[in-house]
Amino acid sequence: MVSDTLLVSTRKGLFTVPRRGRQWEIAAVDFLGDNVTIALTDRRDGSRYAALDHGHFGVKLHRAAGNGWEEIAAPVYPPKPEGYEEHDMWGRPLNWSTARIWALAAGGPDEPGVIWCGTLPGGLFRSADRGQSWDMVRSLWDHPKRKQWMGGGADLPGIHSICVDPRNSKRMWVAVSTGGIWFTEDGGASWNLRGEGMRAEYVPPEQTHDPIAQDVHCLAQCRAAPQRMWVQHHNGIFVSSDEGKTFTEVTHVEPSAFGFPVVVHPREPDTAWFVPEIKDEKRIPREGKLVVIRTRNGGKSFDVLTKGLPQSHAYDVVYRHALALDASGERLAFGSTTGGLWVSDDQGDSWTCVTHTLPPVYAVHFA
Amino acid sequence: MAKVVFTPNIQRHVALPEAEASGRTVRDVLEAVFADHPQARGYVLDDQSGLRKHMTIFVDGRMIRDRARLTDAVNESSTVFVFQALSGG
């Protein structure tokens, strides 16, 4: 259950970091020099996937094969109907073309080979053949409310979180920045907007509580108690005990309730971790002290975890996919925009710096 | 046959040697090349088959005008350069 290998996706390559003895060491660098936006190990069959953004040459997807990688199909948006016009929040024509792969998730245990992929500008894709081919989930893309999605973490809207119900693979939640939380219980044939109770201060008052106006930064679900969902939101931290139908805001969070990632313990729904930044207009750790915060009681209180983390002049930002918890619930790791990588073997009580000279880290994943 | 030359930087990802292709438009010529190199298509064109945002194409020294449909004319003696635009950083 304890994982001994990290995949670290960075602006300049994919780093494989195994634990050797008591040390974590960089053992391999793939795609050196290229922008790796996210990586996935499918625990059902051991397949590894890496998403690349080549800028000029577009978004690509690779799967590990033998000792190397092979390029497989990337999600492709369907042809835009002739004469159809759609504009983004800036009034520019919205190009129906994959601008970034922002989420990769394995399907359920009863669906071998099924992979889900969330993209910018908002398309959700499903592969039934380990990424050899992809189908866009048209029911979500064509949903009339999808056009209300807006840019948040990027200029374009995107799907960054995909939670497949461990009890039933047909049930799934996806989260959009910005566009709230969407739920299907028929494998993606139909969708409903969830997330009552979340609050957005940054929109006009009449939209503050509108579920579609919510900028969810990250959505996490407890495996053993899937009714429990945690959200790190642009506006703070929210928790749900009814599968995301309703959320309660967690208040009095120190040093801050702003941040990007959240992970939840696989068996203890009240235990979750966050990495706070001062707030939205000042995205740096408070007082230059890099900390992780942990609740063990559903958000009533938090431990501020500092042991082994820099406590002066640290300006690390931890992106939404860059905090990881292994399947045992004991081991954590996170990477930062300033190239730091830290690991904890004791649920965050103490941390070890693996390196602080990586390229900007986009995603950290236990293989 | 028009001559088609691809930026050296693309070769790291997908081998695209200089090619000769016939056609009356940039679209015709590129599709002829991609028929032999299908994996290269997505490196040059986006999901709607338009030219990628940060790519550019010159025909006989002139930048093409129609980036969406690629209807700029090509003749038998043309040279088509497929390059990165500096705008991509």
**Candidate from A128-132, A271-275, B9-13, B79-83 with smallest mean pLDDT:** B9-13
Per residue in A155-200, pLDDT (tens digit) is: 899 999 999 999 999 999 999 999 999 999 999 999 999 999 999 9
Over chain A, what is the mean pLDDT?
95
What is the model's pTM?
0.95
Produce one character per residue of B17-37: b if its CB has 16 or more CB atoms within 10 Å, e if not.
eebebebebbbebbbbbbeeb
Contact A58 B46 (CB under 8 A): yes
- Alpha carbon of A334 to those of A15, A264, A294, A312, A322: distances in Å? 13, 14, 14, 18, 5
Q: Of A314, A102, A121, which is closest to residue A217 (Cα–Cα)?
A: A102
Scan residues 13-72 of A and list those with Cβ closer than 8 Å to B: 54-58, 60, 71
B10 touches chain A (CB under 8 A): yes
The DSSP-derived string for A18-78 is EEETTEE---EEESTTSEEEEEEE-TTT--EEEEEE-GGG-EEEEEEETTEEEEEPPP-PP
Question: Measured in whole angstroms, how far is the alpha carbon of residue A18 from the centre of its chain?
Answer: 22
Q: Of B30, B33, B79, which is closest to residue B50 (Cα–Cα)?
A: B30
Candidates B34, B47, B55, partner chain A, best to mutate (most A CBs within 10 A): B47
- Region A332-343 average pLDDT: 98
**Tokens of residue A281, six digits:** 């207009």
Q: How far apart, in whole angstroms, are the C-alpha atoms of residue B25 and residue B37?
A: 19
Q: What percent of chain B has pLDDT over 90?
A: 91
How far from each other are the two terminal CA atoms of chain A, in whole angstroms? Answer: 11
ipTM reported for the complex, 2 dp: 0.89
Per residue in A105-131, pLDDT (tens digit) is: 999 999 999 999 999 999 999 999 999
**Tokens of residue A328, six digits:** 């045992």
Contact B43 A96 (CB under 8 A): no
Q: How many of the other CB atoms lie within 10 Å of CB of B73?
A: 12
